[in-house]
């Protein structure tokens, strides 16, 4: 394992033969705190979670330092190739050490350093606070590279509804909404005490917000439904 990073369609080892000086990761996102001093009183008022009920986060920022393998490509050619492809561009990036999730944001070439024995390149990143599940739902997840210790299978395809069907949909930290595909019109889905009528085909359910943890959806009617959703994300 070269502890590589796939940035867009390029892999730092396969395409550029870059060797990280340490195992690459994305730095933790900063917590957006909101403290108010109390004039003449002890302590502070903490409003960090007052609006959302949970902490919110800023972007993850940082850099990776790579050694450039000597003899594989002339340094000026490789430097130009990386600059043209990467500098200032927005990509999705996947760590080889954490292949179930991707990060999305902007990347820059910080510096190219030349030493007598090897060259080094520094790549900066500015990505969103959450890592996002690459598997999604339905039939888009794969056994390889599925992680049986940390991965969550969200396979809700062609579910048969014969009267009533209740399912537990597992959500991540990033709240999101599902698309429910129904084979018939008139079927209903109930979520958090509210009932919605489904049309035949795709139903973009903006009113159903999938939250972190177990989300119960109850279908009534007769037919088949498929629930599709981007897999959500976590820190």
30-42 confidence digits (pLDDT tens): 999 999 999 988 9
Q: Is residue 139 part of a domain?
A: no
pLDDT at 136: 54
Q: Are residues 18 and 81 in the same domain?
A: yes
CA distances (Å), 116 to each of 70, 73, 113, 119, in order?
A: 11, 16, 10, 8
Q: Number of folded domains in the chain?
A: 2
Which residues face 75 on adjacent strands? none
**Under 8 Å between Cβ of 182 and 200:** yes
The CATH code of the domain that includes 181 is 2.60.120.10
For residue 190, give its domain range.
159-234
* pLDDT in the model for residue 1: 57
Q: Any residues with CB less than 8 A from the CB of 199 and at least 6 apart, and which?
A: 182, 185
Instruction: Report yes or no on 145 lying in a domain.
Output: no
Note the pLDDT of residue 148: 40
226 within a domain of the structure (yes/no): yes
State which of 129, 149, 167 marks the end of a domain: 129
Q: What is the pLDDT of residues 103-158, one digit of tens each?
A: 999 999 998 887 777 789 999 999 999 998 886 544 443 434 444 444 444 568 89
Q: Summarize the confidence of residues 155-177 as an average pLDDT.
A: 88
Q: What is the pLDDT of residues 55-98, one digit of tens each?
A: 999 999 999 999 998 778 888 899 999 999 999 999 999 999 99
pLDDT (average), residues 193-203: 95
Structural domain ending residue among the three candidates 113, 129, 145: 129
**Does 168 lie in the same domain as 72?**
no
Tell me the whole-structure pTM to 2 decimals.
Answer: 0.78
pLDDT score at 138: 43
Residue 100 and residue 199 in one domain = no
Task: Verify that 96 and 35 share a domain, yes or no.
Answer: yes
For the segment 48-58, what is each residue's pLDDT rounded down to a tens digit? Answer: 999 888 899 99
CA distance 68 to 70: 6
Tell whether 188 and 73 lie within a shared domain. no
Residues 177, 114 share a domain? no
123/200 same-domain check: no
* CATH value at residue 12: 2.40.30.200
DSSP bridge partners of 84: none
The H or E element spanning position 80 is helix 75-86
The pLDDT value given to residue 108: 97
pLDDT at 188: 95
Residue 137 covered by a domain: no
């Amino acid at each position: 394992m070269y502890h590589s990073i796939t940035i867009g369609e390029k892999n730092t080892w396969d395409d550029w033969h870059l060797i990280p000086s340490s195992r690459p990761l994305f730095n933790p996102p900063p917590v957006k705190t909101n403290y108010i001093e109390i004039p003449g009183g002890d302590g502070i008022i903490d409003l960090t979670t007052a609006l959302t009920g949970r902490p919110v986060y800023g972007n993850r920022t940082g850099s990776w330092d790579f050694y450039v393998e000597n003899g594989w490509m002339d340094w000026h050619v490789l430097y130009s190739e990386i600059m043209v492809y990467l500098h200032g561009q927005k990509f999705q990036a996947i760590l080889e050490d954490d292949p179930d999730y991707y990060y999305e944001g902007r990347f820059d070439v910080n510096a190219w350093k030349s030493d007598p024995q090897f060259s080094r390149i520094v790549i900066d990143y500015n990505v969103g606070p959450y890592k996002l599940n690459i598997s999604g739902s339905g039939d888009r997840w794969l056994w390889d590279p599925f992680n049986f210790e940390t991965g969550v299978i969200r396979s809700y395809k062609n579910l048969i509804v014969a009267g009533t069907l209740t399912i537990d949909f597992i959500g991540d930290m990033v709240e999101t909404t599902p698309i429910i595909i129904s084979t018939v019109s008139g079927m209903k889905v109930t979520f958090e005490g509210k009932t919605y009528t489904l049309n035949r085909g795709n139903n973009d359910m903006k009113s159903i917000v999938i939250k972190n943890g177990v989300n119960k959806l109850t279908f009534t009617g007769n037919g088949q439904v498929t629930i599709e959703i981007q897999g959500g994300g976590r820190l």
